[in-house]
Chain A
Amino acid sequence: MSRVIGIDLGTTNSCVAILEEGQPVVIPNTGGYKTTPSIFAVTEEGKRLVGHLAKRQAVTNAKNTVHAAKRLIGRSYDSPEVASFREFLPYELVQGPNNDVRVRVAGRVYTIPEISGIVLREMKRVAEEYLGDTVQQAVITVPAYFNDAQRQTTRDAGRIAGLELLRIINEPTAAALAYGFGRDKTETVAVYDLGGGTFDISILQMGKGVIEVLATSGDTQLGGEDFDRRIVQHLLAIFQEKEGLDLRGDTMALQRLKDASEKAKCDLSQVASTEINLPFIAADAEENALHMSVLLTREQLEELTGELVERTRAIVQRAFDDAKLTASQLDQVLLVGGQTRMPLVQRFVAQLFGKTAHKGVNPDEVVAVGAAIQAAMLSEEKEGPLLVDVTPLSLGIATFGGHFARLIERNTTVPTSRQEIFTTTRDNQTAVKIRVVQGESERADENDLLGEFVLAGIPPGPKGGPEIEVTFDIDANGIVSVSARDLGTGRAQSIQVNPRGTLSPEEIERLASQYSQSDEVAVKG
């Protein structure tokens, strides 16, 4: 019998879990690890690697090792997010035909859903090996603050991995589900989720078999990777001053620095100081070997990264405002995501919420567990809490003058629809162009364009006469669709949603079968 799994597709690490006899189990890979690096690489010999093996050879093969693909998923090539992320990236980004961002690995260009699909396929394989059974269905999690393009592209990744996605759920909601599993108290809970690449805050009300999200907010550009980067920059500056050499151009050195920074950061959660030791990091003009040996204290780290943590304050406040609650009304705070292990973050959270966080959840695994519970509930109709979630971003249209007119406010419970009447502004205008946009800025061009619709075939007449009823719909996955009806003629106009940069169904199918056949992907974790 085919099983259903829950997968936390993280920026840095991924995790897979399943419900066994009513109890959640986090599935270890063959190396015994409960999480798998979300890394894909192609070796010099053309061999494809995923997970721990890919990570281990990252230093010598940085150019062809892709990490943090989640930072790129659903984004356009020329977006500011991609530009800033690119700065220290050892692997090459290229522009796709839809202005989507793609990566070139060992001479071949991959789309981002493909890369994420490869990681997902690995998690699927891990589960199948453990279970001794096939897995065809899954629930996958995404950051609550992901927009429509990011969610759709994640869905494509799931399909490429050969998985039928029952549902995409938000990471903080999944964490709350795992926390609330087996618990029956009515509680108001805040989930502070600081992962490898994204930050989410959700405020939920749970009890009586329902988990309802009141408000959610976040930053899809803030996570552990940024903390690592601050350390790398610090090391680069020190080295520059000491040796007069800028290591930025050296991809291997950069990769070593990144690995060492990440390790140091984790160490400093346990100890007060650590040494970053990188012998033979570079060579000077006379070909003498240069070494890096830097002492890093916890204080220094906190100084380098304090600003990143501080950034979450305003985001949390906005969530409280939207939920119409204050911190004092919270019963519980959950910390999710590896970065919340940092003492600075824990102190910050305690001060921000006025209470210490609940200690009983494993920040690396809780999201996958939640996904597994949801997967079991949906597929096997197990008894369990019902998730009632919200859309994190306002949805509306772009209007003349470049303004953004909101139609569905952020933090509206989904599923939801909203109808609005549009009309013509010129006599005999037979078509109306509607640009559907998602985001919070007052200016439409600062938000995300989901699609442009031209409603043609409006019978000519005086302006202001026709009434075109447009329905905006957000489903339980948080995915948007738009339809329209000419109230005068009663005819439904069809509109095409063209999500930016996603692959066509044919492409997805082709990739899915391609990857299922070729299993050169190294297996041992």
Chain B
Amino acid sequence: MSSSHDRDAAAVESARTSVRVDLPDAFQREIRELARALPGLDYFAVLRVPRSASPDEVRDAFFERSKTYHPDRYFKKELGPYAGLLTEIYKRIVAAHDVLRDAKLRASYEKTLGGGAAEPKPTSFSVPAKPVAKAAAPAPAGRGSSLRNRLGLQSPGLVLVSLQKQLEQSRARARKHFDAALEQKASGDWTRAAHLVELAIAFDPRERQYHDELAEILPRANVDRAADVRRKAELLLHGDRAGAAELLEEAAQLLPTDAELAYKLSNLLFEMGSDLAKAALYGERAVALDEDELRFRKSLAATYRRAGLPQKARKHLQRAWELDPLDKEIRLALQTL
């Protein structure tokens, strides 16, 4: 978000002379300065209250800031580039209020700020003593800094609080799903367990345990799912071959190392005759998984032959012949190629 702030600031600078803006010059300047300083301001500074402010003072301050920065106040005015800036400023004011009005949230926020002594009430939005120049620079690409970009906030203090909170929330969610996954695993529902682990990973991709668990569960889940799919395919075979083929293909994708399945699919596609290329693809897979299985070779050869590729057919027929020189079918096929 820092880059968007910078963009906005730049847009404002360049647009300042060309776009009509219905705000007094002084206020325009104030908005620009505030937008630029925003990343470095803590919530107290945003609301302009001292650290010692009571809940009522916090609320009153929120009301006062709202009256100045809520975009509705300038509903009919031409704001040009200031519309976006005002909205961002106001959203920050709302966020500040959300935290500071809740006793618990305020307490944990104050802890992250450190520096116990009550600060004098800031009267302007000049950059505070703490150096924040670095934070304002656009973050370089890469994992570490993109974490910082994660919440669109650059001030070190703010990043820590919100980032921590967000990370905690995500991790907690991930943990919840993972625990649920383990329960499902214990009761034997691999498919559901796999889904839940995938979910846990989505929320906390860096947790090693989840990846390990998924590696263990997924094959079993795939087997279950594939078995389920095959069952359905069997039912369809007699009536709806196209449907059966689709299901078998789904199963084959789940179980890339199941040669029999690939062979079966290849045969079905061959019989249907509509997609010989795919039939060949799965036939090749069967052969690759088990080079010495006669049926696989014969079937693949037949497929290539039908597809009008005699060279490839011959290759597989010859191998088949090596496996079983007495097979008459093979000899006949070779002769008639």
**Total residues of chain B contacting the partner, CB 8 A:** 39
Q: Are B63 and A210 in contact (CB under 8 A)?
A: yes
Cβ of A207 under 8 Å from chain B: yes
Q: Are A399 and B76 in contact (CB under 8 A)?
A: no
Report chain A residues within 8 Å CB of B177. Answer: 399, 401, 403
Q: Are A386 and B150 in contact (CB under 8 A)?
A: no
Whole-angstrom distance between the alpha carbons of A490 and B139 in the complex? 11
Minimum distance in angstroms from B237 CB to a CB of chain A = 30
Report chain B residues within 8 Å CB of A381. Answer: 75-76
Report chain B residues within 8 Å CB of A8. Answer: none
User: With contacts A208-B64, A415-B91 known, is A386 near B149, CB below 8 A?
Assistant: no
Report chain A residues within 8 Å CB of B90. Answer: 415
Q: Are B59 and A425 in contact (CB under 8 A)?
A: no
Q: Which of A271-324 contact B (CB under 8 A)?
A: 324
Report chain A residues within 8 Å CB of B75. Answer: 166, 378-379, 381
Q: Which of B202-216 contact A (CB under 8 A)?
A: 202, 205-206, 211
Cβ of A416 under 8 Å from chain B: yes
Report chain B residues within 8 Å CB of A417. Answer: 91
Whole-angstrom distance between the alpha carbons of A167 and B152 in the complex? 29
Q: Are A413 and B76 in contact (CB under 8 A)?
A: no
Q: Are B196 and A401 in contact (CB under 8 A)?
A: yes
Q: Are B150 and A469 in contact (CB under 8 A)?
A: yes
Interface of B is mostly: helix
Cβ of A220 under 8 Å from chain B: no
Cβ of A488 under 8 Å from chain B: yes
Cβ of B67 under 8 Å from chain A: yes
Q: Are B72 and A209 in contact (CB under 8 A)?
A: no
User: With contacts A401-B192, A415-B90 known, is A378 near B72, CB below 8 A?
Assistant: yes
Within 8 Å by CB of A386, from B72, B146, B180, lies: B72
Minimum distance in angstroms from A165 CB to a CB of chain B = 13
User: With contacts A379-B75, A425-B201 known, is A419 near B192, CB below 8 A?
Assistant: no
Cβ of B97 under 8 Å from chain A: yes
Report chain A residues within 8 Å CB of B62. Answer: 210, 212
B57-98 interface code vs A (CB 8 A; 1 in, 0 out): 001101110110011110110000000000100110010011
Q: Are A209 and B149 in contact (CB under 8 A)?
A: no
Q: Are A423 and B71 in contact (CB under 8 A)?
A: no
Whole-angstrom distance between the alpha carbons of A393 and B173 in the complex? 20
Whole-angstrom distance between the alpha carbons of A487 and B67 in the complex? 35
Report chain A residues within 8 Å CB of B64. Answer: 208
Report chain B residues within 8 Å CB of A388. Answer: 66, 70
Look across to chain A and name the residue whose beta carbon is closest to the beta carbon of B64. A208
Q: Are B76 and A378 in contact (CB under 8 A)?
A: yes
Cβ of A476 under 8 Å from chain B: yes
Within 8 Å by CB of A400, from B87, B94, B102, B198, lies: B198
User: With contacts A166-B75, A378-B75, A386-B72 known, is A400 near B199, CB below 8 A?
Assistant: yes
Within 8 Å by CB of A419, from B60, B150, B199, B205, lies: B150
Whole-angstrom distance between the alpha carbons of A386 and B62 in the complex? 12
Within 8 Å by CB of B98, from A399, A413, A487, A490, lies: A413
User: With contacts A401-B192, A416-B91 known, is A425 near B67, CB below 8 A?
Assistant: no
Cβ of A266 under 8 Å from chain B: no
Cβ of A422 under 8 Å from chain B: yes
Q: Which of A473-491 contact B (CB under 8 A)?
A: 476, 487-488, 490
Report chain B residues within 8 Å CB of A510. Answer: none
Q: Are A208 and B60 in contact (CB under 8 A)?
A: yes
Cβ of A421 under 8 Å from chain B: yes
Minimum distance in angstroms from A405 CB to a CB of chain B = 7
Q: Are B91 and A401 in contact (CB under 8 A)?
A: no
A97-139 interface code vs B (CB 8 A; 1 in, 0 out): 0000000000000000000000000000000000000000000
Q: Which of B86-143 contact A (CB under 8 A)?
A: 87, 90-91, 94, 97-98, 102, 141
Look across to chain A and name the residue whose beta carbon is closest to the beta carbon of B205. A464
Whole-angstrom distance between the alpha carbons of A490 and B145 in the complex? 13
Report chain B residues within 8 Å CB of A400. Answer: 195-196, 198-199, 202
Report chain A residues within 8 Å CB of B205. Answer: 423, 463-465
Cβ of B288 under 8 Å from chain A: no
Minimum distance in angstroms from B100 CB to a CB of chain A = 13
Cβ of B151 under 8 Å from chain A: yes
Q: Are A209 and B150 in contact (CB under 8 A)?
A: no
Cβ of A226 under 8 Å from chain B: no
Q: Are A386 and B70 in contact (CB under 8 A)?
A: yes
Look across to chain A and name the residue whose beta carbon is closest to the beta carbon of B173. A405
Within 8 Å by CB of A413, from B67, B94, B102, B146, lies: B94
Report chain B residues within 8 Å CB of A166. Answer: 75
Cβ of A430 under 8 Å from chain B: no
Q: Which of A374-414 contact B (CB under 8 A)?
A: 377-381, 386-388, 399-401, 403, 405, 412-413
Q: Are A212 and B150 in contact (CB under 8 A)?
A: no
Report chain A residues within 8 Å CB of B151. Answer: 419
Ranked nearest first, the 5 interchain pairs of A and B with the lowest CB-CB distance are A464-B205, A210-B63, A400-B199, A378-B75, A400-B195
Given contacts A210-B62, A488-B146, could you give 14 more A-B pairs where the C-beta distance is less than 8 Å? A207-B63, A208-B64, A379-B75, A386-B73, A387-B72, A401-B195, A403-B199, A415-B87, A421-B150, A423-B202, A425-B201, A464-B211, A488-B141, A490-B141
6 contacts between A and B (CB under 8 A): A209-B67, A212-B66, A399-B202, A419-B151, A425-B202, A469-B150
